[in-house]
Each structure stands twice: as structure tokens, then as C-alpha cells.
């Protein structure tokens, strides 16, 4: 029994100790006093964040219409080239043979065409003229033999000539009639031959022209065994190697093998993905010509310095900032993932240090959606609501009375707030102290206040 009483007393002491500890919360001196910060003057901005890869204005995958073995590559990735610089050289043998075959086909076609033209000329001059001449010669002769036949038939009817004489004239007339019919057929046959030869010439001319075109293509492919840069730029990748055999664009459905990629790095861009919730604010920051529905002029209509700057950062250059301007907002979503829609915004890099950025680097982009310069600022955590849901801050009370709190609430009006600092438009002055952490009350004070 005595032991039981001792246990109960021990538990009571522990409970009282816990309650006292809970009321006093083992507070530090700093937590008793609270924490204050001064109202300062400065700038506040509300950024919109996005990200995207760094890239050139344009990329040019360079192919060749020629086929053959790569025998020389003259540049390495990262080297700068000028328009017209030789990049890659192929073995010429295969394309040279193609040119030889095409030239032979053209010569054969030209010879065949010339022979047909000669044939047509002979048919039109010698052949037809000779046949027509025979027709012209036999026609009056036939008329004469007809006259003699008719006359002889009349004399035979009167018995004044022999039957033998009559048969001779009849035979002469029929023979000449057959010769004239044959001559007329020869004239018609020559006309047919002329028409056929003309059609042959048309066909052979088409074949000859096709051969000339094939020869031109073969010569072009031969010239493309030396591949040149189409633009000023930088070699960003080599897609082949010495000894590789490539297929030309003229012989494949894919348009040929990519050999080199040259990028136009005179302008560099960040292709940022902007959330649909933020793209409206970004549109408000952009110049009119950068918005969907407006045409971009060949030159920027206002100086770059007068356009809203965009801040860019990359992990490769920690602590260094780059700047740019909004050049184009794309009108259609670039992606939709898990019902999150993003729009591509092209940001032209304008800072002098932008040449440090490499193609493909992932950049963090910050647009300044709202800003306030040289204004009063308080820390965001100092803002509270009173019992009437009015916004304001707590400030210390100088020399409070024994029954008075050490702080009081001042209603304020706030402007731009970036989550760290808020603009104060009414209620405070520079240098005032505001509580970011209110003083902690001791247990006896809380009991007095009815807490």
C-alpha cells in the first residue's frame, strides 16, 4: 500500500512538471523578444520563370546529291566557316563514270535524232517529189490512152478496125491506169512515212532532252563530290567519317545522308516553354511585332535597349546572367503533358557575353511581369490579418504599460509582392520596425489574457 502511494505521488510530480514545461515552452531570450526588421526602400519585381534550350537562329543539315566514299573532312565541330568554304570531299570515280555514261547516251540520242531528220528531209524532197513527178507524168498519158481506146472502140463498132487493134489499145490503157494507181499509192505511202518520221523526231527530241537533263544531273552530282558551306556559321556536328560510303540524295527517298550540320550563330535564341497561365503576362511584355497576329519587320522597330529585358541563367556559368528580348510568341501550344499546356517563346540573346552559351544548354529564363522601383518594402512574413481580415503588420510599442502588449497592429496597403518582399503603399514609413516573428508570451501572461 505504501509503495502504491509513492508511485501515485511520483506520477503527479511528473504531470505537474510537464504542464509547467508546456506553459513555459523552455523559451529562449530571442523568442521571448520576437524578431523585427526595418522598413526599407528598394526595388521589387515579380518574375515569371520558364526554361528552354539554347539554340542558333537556324540549323543547316548539309547533304550531297553525290554518292561515294568520304575521303576528306576539313573542319571539326566548333570551328567557324564562311559561305563557300569546302567542308567535305568525296571520291569522284563513281560520279565520273555516271557522267561518262550520260555523255554516251546523249551522243547516241543526238546521232539517232540527226538520222531521223535526214530521213525526213529525203522523204520530203527526193522521195515525195519523185513519186509525185511520176503521177504527174502518167496522168496525161492515161488520158491519151483512154482517147485512143475510145476511138478504136468506135471504129471497131463500124467494122473499120480489127479486134486485135482494139485489144491492144484497151490493154495499153489498163496497164497505164494500173501504173498511175501504183504511183498514187507511192505518194500516199511517202506521206505516211513523213508523218511517222516526224513523230519519231518528236520522240527522239524528248529522249535527247531527257538525256541532256540526266547529263546535267550527273555533272551536278560530280560537282557535289565537294561539299561547301551554304552560309556563314559554325560547324556544330560531323555526321560521317573518312572512309564511309554515302548514298546521294538523287538515289534515296530520304534525300541523302547528312554529312555536316552548320548553324547560323550570328543570332542565338532560347526556345523557352512558358506555362499557359503565364503566357498572357509574357505577351503583355512583348513588343507588338513579337505577338501572334503581327508581322515581324526586317529590323527591330525600336532599339533593343528600350524593350523589356529577359534574364537568362545557365548552370554552366553559375552566378553569371545573360539578357535577351522576346522576339516571337508562337500561337499554338508546343506541348501538352498531363493537362499542362506550354507555349514556345523565342528569346533573342542580346548580351555581349552570350557567345559563351553552347547549343543545347538548358537555360532558366526570368520575365519581369511586375515591378516597383524605389518603394517602401517590408518582408512578406511580416504581413498579417487582423480580426476584421484587414491586412497590416505588427510593430513594437515603445515603453508599454504593465497591462499593455509589447506590439500593436497597423493596417496597411500593399502593392507588388514577390513572396519575399512586398511594396507598402500606405501605413508605414522608412526605418520603422515590423515584427517578422511576434514575441512569445509566458504562461502567466497567457493566463492573464485568458489564453
Run of H or E residues at 22: helix 2-24
What are the boundaries of each domain within the chain? 29-44+374-448, 62-89+227-261, 96-223, 262-371
168: confidence class by pLDDT, cuts 50, 70, 90: confident
How much is the pLDDT for 404?
A: 61
Q: Which cell numbers hold the place of 368?
A: 519581369
Q: Do domains 62-89+227-261 and 262-371 have the same CATH topology?
A: no
Domain 262-371: give its CATH code.
Answer: 2.40.30.170
Model confidence pLDDT, tens digit, residues 222-275: 888 899 999 999 999 999 999 999 887 666 666 788 999 999 988 899 999 999
Closest CA to 387 of 417, 411, 405: 411
Model confidence pLDDT, tens digit, residues 2-54: 444 444 444 454 454 445 444 444 445 555 678 999 999 999 888 889 999 99
3-state helix, strand, coil in the chain (%, to 5): 40, 35, 25
Model confidence pLDDT, tens digit, residues 408-436: 999 999 998 888 999 999 999 999 999 99
Q: Which cell numbers hold the place of 354?
A: 552570350
Model confidence pLDDT, tens digit, residues 306-316: 678 899 999 99
Q: What CATH topology corresponds to 62-89+227-261?
A: OB fold (Dihydrolipoamide Acetyltransferase, E2P) (2.40.50)
Model confidence pLDDT, tens digit, residues 244-257: 998 876 666 667 88
Total residues belonging to the chain? 451
407: confidence class by pLDDT, cuts 50, 70, 90: confident
Residue 135's Cβ-count burial label (10 Å; 0-12, 13-18, 19+) is: middle
d(CA 262, CA 62): 7
- Cβ neighbours around 94 below 10 Å, total: 17
d(CA 219, CA 96): 8
Q: What is the mean pLDDT of residues 163-168?
A: 85
d(CA 327, CA 308): 11
Whole-model pTM: value is 0.59
How much is the pLDDT for 41?
A: 94
Instruction: Kindly report the average pLDDT of the chain as a whole number.
Output: 84
Q: Which CATH number fits domain 29-44+374-448: 3.40.50.720, 3.40.50.1820, 2.40.420.20, 1.20.1050.10?
A: 2.40.420.20
Run of H or E residues at 370: strand 362-379
How much is the pLDDT for 123?
A: 81
The contacts of residue 311 (CB under 8 Å, 6+ apart) are 47, 321, 322, 323, 365, 366, 368
Determine whether domain 96-223 maps to CATH 1.10.287.620: yes
Run of H or E residues at 403: none
Give the residues across from 423 on adjacent strands.
377
DSSP 199: H
328: confidence class by pLDDT, cuts 50, 70, 90: very high
Amino acid at each position: 500500500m505504501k509503495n502504491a502511494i509513492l508511485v501515485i505521488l511520483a506520477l503527479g510530480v511528473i504531470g505537474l512538471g510537464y504542464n509547467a514545461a508546456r506553459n513555459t515552452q523552455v523559451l529562449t531570450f530571442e523568442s521571448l523578444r520576437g524578431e523585427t526588421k526595418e522598413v526599407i526602400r528598394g526595388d521589387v519585381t515579380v518574375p515569371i520563370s520558364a526554361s528552354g534550350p539554347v539554340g542558333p537562329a537556324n540549323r543547316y543539315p548539309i547533304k550531297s546529291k553525290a554518292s561515294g566514299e568520304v575521303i576528306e573532312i576539313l573542319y571539326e565541330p566548333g570551328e567557324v566557316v564562311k559561305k563557300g568554304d569546302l567542308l567535305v570531299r568525296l571520291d569522284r570515280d563513281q560520279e565520273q563514270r555516271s557522267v561518262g555514261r550520260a555523255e554516251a547516251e546523249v551522243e547516241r540520242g543526238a546521232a539517232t535524232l540527226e538520222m531521223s531528220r535526214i530521213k525526213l528531209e529525203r522523204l520530203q524532197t527526193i522521195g515525195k517529189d519523185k513519186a509525185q513527178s511520176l503521177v504527174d507524168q502518167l496522168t496525161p498519158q492515161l488520158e491519151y490512152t483512154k482517147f485512143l481506146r475510145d476511138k478504136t472502140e468506135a471504129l471497131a463498132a463500124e467494122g473499120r478496125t480489127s479486134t486485135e487493134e482494139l485489144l491492144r489499145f484497151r490493154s495499153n490503157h489498163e496497164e497505164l491506169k494500173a501504173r498511175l494507181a501504183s504511183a498514187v499509192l507511192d505518194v500516199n505511202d511517202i506521206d505516211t512515212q513523213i508523218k511517222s518520221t516526224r513523230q519519231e523526231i518528236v520522240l527522239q527530241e524528248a529522249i535527247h532532252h531527257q538525256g541532256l537533263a540526266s547529263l546535267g544531273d550527273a555533272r551536278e552530282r560530280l560537282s557535289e563530290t565537294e561539299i561547301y558551306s551554304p552560309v556563314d556559321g559554325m560547324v556544330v556536328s560531323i555526321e560521317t567519317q573518312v572512309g564511309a560510303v554515302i548514298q546521294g540524295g538523287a538515289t534515296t527517298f530520304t534525300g541523302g545522308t547528312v554529312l555536316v550540320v552548320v548553324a547560323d550563330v550570328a543570332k542565338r535564341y532560347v526556345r523557352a516553354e512558358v506555362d499557359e497561365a503565364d503566357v498572357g503576362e509574357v505577351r503583355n511584355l512583348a513588343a507588338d511585332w513579337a505577338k501572334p497576329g503581327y508581322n515581324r519587320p526586317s529590323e527591330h522597330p525600336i532599339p533593343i535597349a528600350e524593350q523589356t529585358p529577359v534574364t537568362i541563367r545557365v548552370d554552366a556559368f553559375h552566378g553569371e546572367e545573360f539578357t535577351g528580348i522576346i522576339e516571337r510568341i508562337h500561337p499554338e501550344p508546343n506541348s501538352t503533358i498531363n493537362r499542362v499546356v506550354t507555349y514556345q517563346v523565342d528569346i533573342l540573346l542580346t548580351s555581349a557575353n552570350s557567345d559563351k552559351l553552347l547549343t543545347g544548354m538548358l537555360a532558366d529564363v526570368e520575365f519581369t511581369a511586375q515591378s516597383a522601383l524605389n518603394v517602401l518594402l517590408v518582408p512578406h512574413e511580416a504581413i498579417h490579418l487582423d480580426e476584421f481580415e484587414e491586412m497590416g503588420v505588427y510593430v513594437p510599442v515603445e515603453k508599454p504599460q504593465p497591462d499593455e502588449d509589447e506590439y500593436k497592429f497597423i493596417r496597411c496597403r500593399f502593392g507588388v509582392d514577390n513572396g519575399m518582399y512586398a511594396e507598402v503603399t500606405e501605413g508605414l514609413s522608412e526605418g520603422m520596425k515590423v515584427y517578422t516573428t511576434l514575441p512569445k508570451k509566458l504562461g502567466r501572461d497567457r493566463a492573464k489574457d485568458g489564453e
